[in-house]
Amino acid sequence: MKKPITVLLLLICQSGYAQVSYERLVNAANDGDNWLTYSGTYRSERYSPLDQINTGNVKNMKVIWAYQMQPSTQAGNGLVETTPIVVDGIMYLTEPPSTVTALDARTGKTIWSWSPDMSDEVLHIGFPRVNRGVAILDDAVYVGTLDAHLVSLDAATGAVRWDVKVAENSSGFALTLAPLAIEGKIIVGVSGAEAGVRGFVDAYDSATGERLWRFHTIPAPGDPGSETWQGDAWQTGGGSTWLTGSYDPELDLLYWTVGNPAPDWNGDVRPGDNLYSCSLLALDPDTGELSWHFQFTPHDTHDWDANQIPILLDAEFNDKERKIVALANRNAFFYLLDRETGEFLHGNEYSKQTWASGLDEAGRPIVLPGTDPTYDGNLIWPSLQGATNWFSPSYHPETEQFFVATRLMGSVYYKADVEYEEGQPFLGGGEQALSGDDAAGAIRALDVLTGKQQWEFMLHSPPWAGVMATAGGLVFGGSNEGNVFALDASTGKALWDFQTGGAVRTNPMGFAVDGKQRVASTGGSTLYVFGLE
């Protein structure tokens, strides 16, 4: 639905006109007033360089405005997991399941809103009806939809410029991630492993929507890595790519994470390491060719996909300057890799786990016997939801701290027989997660080069919200109980909180308008924007 043209033009004039060149995206770290990509920058630090709000005055922070998400009649309602993008006073966000809305970032007033025409029968096997955000490049906004389309919208009006089908939703495919915009290209991945799809990463021409390349995460016979699959298991191998990647413009490499193999809990029908499931891929953005890979959990049988945000940083490691990628994995281990070569540099346990005695010199887990799912059930930490999940960590480049929202929960894992049927769940078992007093959560601060825990802030239950560090010495986060909070980044001490009235399931982000710093998060289906005045 569009606003009347006179109102629309007035609001555009009031708010400015979005123009985001590739060069501007490359230099996003120097533009703290705006939030130009899903994770803030191509390095995915989810760090705000703004310091107007700091440890001394955050206690005075209050709600500046709030926006209530509108119930959608398209394919039912869903959970709010969006990270807004802010460009020169305009905020672009998604509402479940696949609506895009532009707001005046000063007031929250709606400029335009667009929803796709989707069937009420759209499939979403193994995940809720969610959308995590948009990408912006030049004067267009890009969104993936629950029925597996990629759409380009005019940033000023919301008018559709092009609409391409990425995959068949009837087979179980969907797009729930925020796309990544690089020079002339829009990069997307897909959800759907729980339906036994064969995952991939795609690149599309930003101007025309033409598909430029596709990298399949499950190799076909004869392709590199195909020896890790047997028989026809690769055809239903899973390997979803449902979370936004990172990008190094200098090395010209994309870093994209890959989900679990299928079926999830019965590994008998897919012997081998099952590449490239549960891996980090370094891809050539021009061709889609694989530069290197690292597999975190070979032959995963616990649904510990690697769909977590990879953070890029430069630091001295073992007396040598390194270009590093850091990742807190769902399997409860923290990893440092050389992002030029994929070499394993360091790994350590950052949360409770009972499935491995550690990592070997190459970073491969040393799996303990008797830890696979069984027909009777087997209690293992972490739960299938992992020690962390899709929600974002944060990195403070000045203090070299890595902040991660951690889930302290185990599960009883069950194995079951399975047969593949297109468009149906392909799981091979299930799990019963511990809850109540047997589960908790924490925000943890790690030394990024050692993985050593510096402090933790305990939560009553395992979180579904990420974190954001700021130059003001703060770490923002949220809880299932509805609190948005600010912690002292040096100590973990709680300095401020606000009760939203609904579970927080988003990653906080920051921006500024008219010289005033803002922090945005959600509670339930409401977006809150906070500031000092």
169, burial (CB in 10 Å: exposed 0-12, middle 13-18, buried 19+): buried
User: Tell me, what's the pLDDT at 17?
Assistant: 63
Query: Cα–chain-centroid distance for residue 23?
Result: 23
Residue 218: CATH number of its domain: 2.140.10.10
Inter-CA distances, 241 with 179, 182, 188, 248, 441, Å: 11, 17, 8, 19, 26
Backbone angles phi, psi at 14, to 5 degrees: -70, -35
3-class state of residue 520 by DSSP: strand
58 located within any domain: no
Catalytic residues: 305
25 located within any domain: no
- Rounded to the nearest integer, the mean pLDDT of the chain is 95
Calculate ∠ Cα 94-196-282, nearest 5°.
65
One-letter amino acid at 98 equals: S
499 located within any domain: no
- Give the pLDDT confidence of 302-324 residue by residue, as tens digits: 999 999 999 999 999 999 999 99
378 located within any domain: yes
User: Tell me, what's the pLDDT at 48?
Assistant: 98
- pTM of the full predicted structure? 0.95
The per-residue DSSP string of 135-192 comes to EEEBTEEEEE-TTSEEEEEETTT--EEEEEE-S-GGGT-B--SPPEEETTEEEEE-B-
| Positions in the chain short of pLDDT 70 | 1-17, 71-77
506 located within any domain: no
Pairing of strands 62-68, 526-531: antiparallel
Domain count along the chain: 1
Residues forming a β-bridge with 517: 512
68 located within any domain: no
Residues forming a β-bridge with 163: 151
Residues forming a β-bridge with 174: 191
43 located within any domain: no
360 located within any domain: yes
Enclosing domain of residue 482 = 119-494
Element (H, E) at 396: strand 394-396
Q: Which two tokens mark 422?
A: 């297109």
